A and B are shown apart, each in its own frame.
Chain A
Amino acid sequence: MSPRARALVTAAGGLALLAVILAGFAKLPDFGVYLGPYGTLVDALAPIQRKIQNAITAVNFDYRGLDTMGEEYILFAAVAGLTLVLRKDRAETTDDPLPSAGLRGSAVRSDAVRAFGLLGVAVTLSFGIYMAIHPHLTPGGGFQGGTITAGFAALALVALGYRPLKKIAPHNRTEPIEAVGAMGYVAVGLATLAAGGAFLANTLPLGGSGEFFSTGTIPVINACVAVEVIAGFVLVFSEFADETRREVRDGEESPP
């Protein structure tokens, strides 16, 4: 099929699909009218039952904690798959940039890039960690904060270069940290079982509303998620950074 014919067929099919979807949406409640019972219930009950101020976190890490565990393992599996795919035939990664990289691979960086990059690293780390450790009091949490925090690896690659990034976050360090984060979630669940509750039931003391150490198991689970997300994304960045370097494949001589 020629690209033009493909575009025409797809456009016709797309418009038909759009009509079907819109027909399906026609019976939805009007925009701004909320009919579901659960949102109202969680909004009303979470601040009382769990002493929590962020109802979204209450859903994620308490009421539907098991679902979030599944989500966390999708993340884990995706990162594991990525490392597997990118590392397939790599015996060793050298520090040399790829020959095709040209000037982009050179170690020369302007002072402005270095200074603002480092400033970016500091701001990203502090804001990201602040966000990651306040899931119960602010609209923060391990997923959002973890993603922001992990951005430091990308900035460090720009500001400092490939070799310092590998020193800060080598694979043999990020991989176990990521695994600990993933395991921690299950460990909390097993601990709540051992404490006599259901799997992931909130069995810790709830504390006072608005305090940092409150809402029971929620900050503990959140910390596991934050560790997992930070380590996972740092691993992703550093795996892609490896792809910009010359590789030594199995059977090749390692450079002196």
Chain B
Amino acid sequence: MSWLPYVVPAWIFVVGLYGMATSRHLVHLILCLSVTQSATYVLILMIGYRAGATAPVFSDVLSTVRATDPVVQAVTLTDIVVGATVTALLLAFALRIYKTYGTTDPQELRTMQG
């Protein structure tokens, strides 16, 4: 089944969401968000893949050789780095929530209850 690999990003996405919704610790919640986010990387890298193709870097291969889509790789590359700083920002929020409310359990934070 050649679309079976697409189950991987869908599964990563849903598992990350499940982790976020049932999380009992803010750091765990933030890491689950990173997992969810990485589902998009897996998906768009898969869409840019071409069977039997090499990476689109032509330092040691001819530029006529079959290569994968560089556009999706460029997007993923920058977003991983930017996503890391956003995760750091969220961890800073978690630290401040702990200092203010004395808990890291999102389900104990009354202001966050729906």
Give me the interface of A with B, judged by CB distance under 8 Å: 3, 6-7, 10-11, 14-15, 17-18, 21-22, 25-26, 28-34, 36, 38-40, 42-44, 46-48, 53-60, 64, 68, 71-72, 74-75, 78-79, 81-82, 85-86, 88, 137-139, 141, 143-144, 146-147, 210, 229, 232-233, 236, 239-240, 243
Contact = CB atoms under 8 A, between A and B. Distances in A.
A71 B86 CA distance: 11
Given A33-B50, A58-B70, A25 B10 contact: yes
A252 B91 CA distance: 27
Interface size class of B (residues with CB under 8 A): 35 or more
A40 B68 CA distance: 8
Interface string B2-45: 11111100110111011001101000000000000000000000
Nearest to A46: B70
A10 B71 contact: no
B112 to A, nearest CB: 13
Contacts, number: 179
A30 B36 CA distance: 23
B85 A21 contact: no
B59 interface: yes
B95 to A, nearest CB: 6
Contacts of B53: 34
B48 interface: yes
Given A44-B63, A74-B86, A39 B3 contact: no
A144 B81 contact: yes
B3 A26 contact: yes
Contact of B69 (A36, A57, A68, A71): A36
B49 A21 contact: no
B14 A17 contact: yes
Contact of A42 (B3, B10, B14, B71): B71
B75 to A, nearest CB: 8
Contact of A75 (B13, B46, B58, B85): B85
Q: Which of B55, B69, B80 has the most CB of A within 10 A?
A: B69
Nearest to A74: B82
9 contacts: A18-B14, A22-B6, A22-B7, A34-B49, A36-B69, A58-B70, A60-B78, A75-B81, A81-B89
A138 to B, nearest CB: 6
Contact of B51 (A18, A33, A79): A33
Given A39-B48, A39-B70, A55-B70, A137 B85 contact: no
A225 B19 CA distance: 34
A74 B78 CA distance: 11
B5 to A, nearest CB: 4
Contacts of A25: 3, 6, 10
A44 B67 CA distance: 9
Give the one of B49, B71, B95 with max A CB within 10 A: B71
B82 A54 contact: no
Contact of B88 (A39, A44, A82): A82
